[in-house]
Amino acid sequence: MGVADDKTISAGSSAANAEEELAPGTRVGEYVVEHKLGEGGFGAVYRATHPLIGKTAAVKVLNREFSSNHEMVSRFIAEARAVNQIRHRNIIDIFAFGQLPDGRQYYIMELLEGLPFDAHLARVGRMDLASALPIFRGIARALDAAHKSGIVHRDLKPENVYLVPNEDGGHSAKLLDFGIAKLLPNSKGGESGHHKTRTGTQMGTPYYMSPEQCRGIGVDHRTDIYALGVMVQRVLTGTMPFDGESVMDVMMKHITMPPPKLSVYGFPAALDEPLTRMMAKEPDDRPATASEAIEALQKASSLAGFDAGSLPPITAISGAPAQASTAIGTTDLGMSAAQPAPRRSSAPLILAVVALIGVGAGGLVLLR
């Protein structure tokens, strides 16, 4: 059984009050609303167009109750600031911010055509290394750019990655939801531009949280590298490395248990070391950068003579230590934390980035 099938721990998990929708033709900044693309407990997202140049965009509007909540607005603004500080092609672009006449906060971002990574995984189950590597590289480049700017994402997971079809017939990755991103203390400007968290406060999604993140102390860029390792295992094997009856069970396993090796799932033993390093309990034992971690995985595969375009037989993972799961489901525009492995097929895919993007806080755990 996965982490409590309908239990999550998140900020503001109550159902949102009914909100007045933005009618087609409503002007938001320089853009005009066409129609609503999606909504959740924290807000709604609309498709909009610039009336003069015809550029399309997505308008993310925070619900009224959260627009009056200083903490939520702080995270909403922090996301826009973080994205614009990094400015990378593998990170969604946010280019305007403001407030509606009724007090609701909004920002305007690029509109992507494609599908959420978790929705893709729900459809395919797992991916071969050859297909997954370009996606991993894009995510790694985005993380490295964020880390170079002194920003830690802290909620890396498939729901926060969007796949955009590219000219090669594959997918390019776009990293989303910097709502709980942290500006490292030694970065330019310190933490003054971002929401501050107290020592001992856990933030993230339990399935993907590093040991130090579970403890709420010592979080830096290496936390994102750990989460990338979790994602690699999920993508290649169809399983999460750690599962449990409760969120605390999962978090304790991240802290105390070694992750299962890829060889347990039928992959060559040479691939064990790169993933084990990514998910090392001690941050100092992990690769220095996300790109270094992914290149080590590819190099090990090549040296082992492994056909990266193949998958081990499904019977090879039947006895794996973690229960098989399909994708972590998209809910509430990406706001829910720790969604369980679905027991049945997912809902129809929404081919717009806003079906995934979290409004404000991202997948969030606050245990005080």
73-78: long-range contacts at Cβ-Cβ below 8 A with a sequence spacing of 24 or more?
73/105, 73/360, 74/195, 75/179, 75/180, 75/195, 75/360, 75/361, 75/362, 76/105, 76/107, 76/179, 76/359, 76/360, 77/105, 78/178, 78/179, 78/181, 78/193, 78/194, 78/195
Beta pairing partners, 96: 108
Q: For residue 288, what are the contacts with CB-CB under 8 A and spacing of at least 6? A: none
Q: Which sequence positions are flagged as catalytic? A: 155
Q: Which two tokens stand for residue 256?
A: 């105390």
- The CA-based angle 269-271-277, given to 5 degrees, is 115
Q: For residue 128, what are the contacts with CB-CB under 8 A and spacing of at least 6? A: 236, 308, 309, 310, 311
Give the DSSP H/E element, type plus range, for residue 96: strand 94-99
3-state secondary structure of 94: strand
Q: Which two tokens stand for residue 95?
A: 């280019």
Helices (H), the chain: 64-67, 70-86, 117-124, 129-148, 211-215, 221-237, 247-256, 272-278, 290-303
Do residues 72 and 61 make contact, with C-beta atoms less than 8 angstroms apart? Answer: no
What is the rounded end-to-end Cα distance, in angstroms, of the chain?
26
> Would you say how long the chain is, in residues?
368
Positive/negative CA dihedral, 295, 82, 87, 349: positive
Place of tokens 């929705």: 119
Burial category of 321 from C-beta neighbours within 10 Å (exposed 0-12, middle 13-18, buried 19 and up) = middle
